[in-house]
Structure 1
Amino acid sequence: MQFTNMAVAAFLTLLKIVTADSQEFGIVSIHSASAVHYLSLHDKDGLYLTSGPDSLSASVTDAGKLKFSNNKFVVIDKDGKWIEGSENDASTGFAISSGRVTYQDKENFYAVPTTNPANYVISGQDDNGAIGVALTAFLTSGSRANDFEPSAEKVSKVGSTTIDATSSGTSPDIIVPPTSTPAVTVAAISQITDGQIQATHSIQIQSENGVAKIGFPGGVGSLGMAIALLI
């Protein structure tokens, strides 16, 4: 009986590990020298890439769904755009690979302009005026989130919209942060608007085991403001 109880406990522990979600992270768009460089995701009566505080944090569930800190999920509509919805409607196929958010094994996305010039919608398709981006997953420490692949038996791509980010025949020109950054003291970024950067605080960057680490004020909400320090 004692052996059986131990076996059950071990099985439950293993099950908990197998069904765990990813780390919580902030999502920052990366495309050097563009209007969408360092933008983060916000819920402003819709899901938008934009600047400012109170950005959303996210995690990838064990079912391959992208869940936000406001308890909403990413639903990819028929046009390939990211919108918010319930868990039941959420698209599956999300993961983290090499510090980037991926969908259906693709890591290239597009920031599509809206009627508000400060807001962009994420899409898997190259709409008119769209800018190619990588969506990098950063922890509050400033390092990239660990790779995460949902449990294969829980990820179902049936019913999800499959998006080909390179359907236009061209790949987005994306420049992403290097995996190693030398130790240097730089200034924290407090505002990024149309490529303008304003420095306010001094921050120490270290490279440890090939991964850059940053300590910065403001937590995930100000995460996008510190990503510039990595490249």
Structure 2
Amino acid sequence: MKFSTALSVALFALAKVIVADSEEFGLVSIRSGSDLQYLGVYSDNGTLKLGSSSNSLDATITDDGKLKFNDDKYAVVNEDGSFKEGSESDAAIGFSIKDGHLNYKSSSGFYAIKKDSSYIFSSKQSDDATGIAIRPTSNTGSVAPDFTPNDSASSSSSSSSASAPSSTKSISSAESTKASSTAPASSTSSAVASVISQITDGQVQAPNTVYEQTENGGAKATVGMGAGALAAAAAFLL
């Protein structure tokens, strides 16, 4: 069976919009001129602390915005804002990487709370708290690339006003939608086709996925599709 070039381009564009987990990185605290500079994050009986422990944790950000550690546990937020390790079902949502900093609910501000001879890792300010940033560092020593999970925008927007000030500003979804709707379009870029649903044998159907031809001859997905549907469509080309 022969498939059109448009279908091949559409599948390629679709593959690019599917988001997986971030790369694995270490969590390094940044507070210049203090004893908090370059500390790692480790677990002390489930409580996440900052220190120079040899048991410092590495982490990834999942595609739904959870911070997963290399011991297969997740970052959970207590009522007072401090972090602990827990199950995926209790995990906090809203983590991302932006401009070389770990963010939680659109804020790059974290806190180290002095307790006895250690520091508790927290998302909220309290007594004896010192503001810090967390630099996600790859295993090569470089800063991990920016990463925005699929669900981070919805999980962070409801609490962004209550979070610590962020070093970056984000464009609201309303502004983004307005900019998209007012962008100029030529006669050649108005062709829209639900190419996947055009397959006549009915084995692959994605009527909600639409691709728009761009001015440079490419295509972009205006509605996402799950990895399972992509795999089925890709297998159809073999």
Give the % identical residues: 40
Q: Does 1:33 align with 2:54?
A: no
Alpha-carbon displacement from aligned partner over 1:174-219 (angstroms, at most 9, x marks no partner): xxxxxxxxxxxxxxxxxxxxxxxxxxxxxxxxxxxxxxxxxxxxxx
Q: Distance in 2 between matches of 1:157 and 1:126?
A: 21
Question: Residue in 1 aligned with 2:193?
Answer: none
Question: Residue in 2 aligned with 1:84?
Answer: 85
Q: Distance in 2 between matches of 1:54 and 1:13?
A: 41
Alpha-carbon shift at residue 44 of structure 1 (Å): 2.5
More strand by share: 1
Letter in 1 for 2:75: V
Question: Residue in 2 aligned with 1:138?
Answer: 137
Alpha-carbon shift at residue 157 of structure 1 (Å): 2.4
Which protein has the larger Cα radius of gyration, Structure 1 or Structure 2?
2
Q: Give the unaligned 5+ runs of structure 2.
A: 168-238
Alpha-carbon displacement from aligned partner over 1:67-109 (angstroms, at most 9, x marks no partner): 1000111111111111111111111110001111001110011
**Superposition pairs of residues 1-231 of structure 1, within 5 angstroms:** 1=1, 3=3, 11=11, 14=14, 18-46=18-46, 47-115=48-116, 117=117, 119-152=118-151, 156-157=154-155, 164-165=163-164
Alpha-carbon shift at residue 13 of structure 1 (Å): 9.3
Rate the CA distance shift 1:141–1:18 in 2: closer, same or farther, 3 A: same
Contact between 1:91 and 1:161, CA under 8 Å: does it hold in 2?
no
Rate the CA distance shift 1:2–1:81 in 2: closer, same or farther, 3 A: farther
Q: Distance in 1 between matches of 2:13 and 2:105?
A: 29
Contact between 1:64 and 1:155, CA under 8 Å: does it hold in 2?
no
Higher relative contact order structure (alpha carbons within 8 Å, sequence separation ≥ 6): 1
Alpha-carbon displacement from aligned partner over 1:145-178 (angstroms, at most 9, x marks no partner): 00000114x76529x9876235xxxx9xxxxxxx
Structure 2 length as normaliser, TM-score? 0.60
Alpha-carbon displacement from aligned partner over 1:31-76 (angstroms, at most 9, x marks no partner): 0121211110112312211113131111111101111000111111
Letter in 1 for 2:44: K
More helix by share: 2
Q: Distance in 1 between matches of 2:153 and 2:86?
A: 18
Q: Give the unaligned 5+ runs of structure 1.
A: 172-231
Q: CA RMSD in A?
A: 2.9
Contact between 2:113 and 2:119, CA under 8 Å: does it hold in 1?
yes
Q: Distance in 2 between matches of 1:155 and 1:85?
A: 23
Q: Distance in 2 between matches of 1:108 and 1:78?
A: 17
Rate the CA distance shift 1:148–1:75 in 2: closer, same or farther, 3 A: same
Contact between 2:105 and 2:159, CA under 8 Å: does it hold in 1?
no
Structure 1 length as normaliser, TM-score? 0.61
SS of residue in 2 equivalent to 1:80: coil
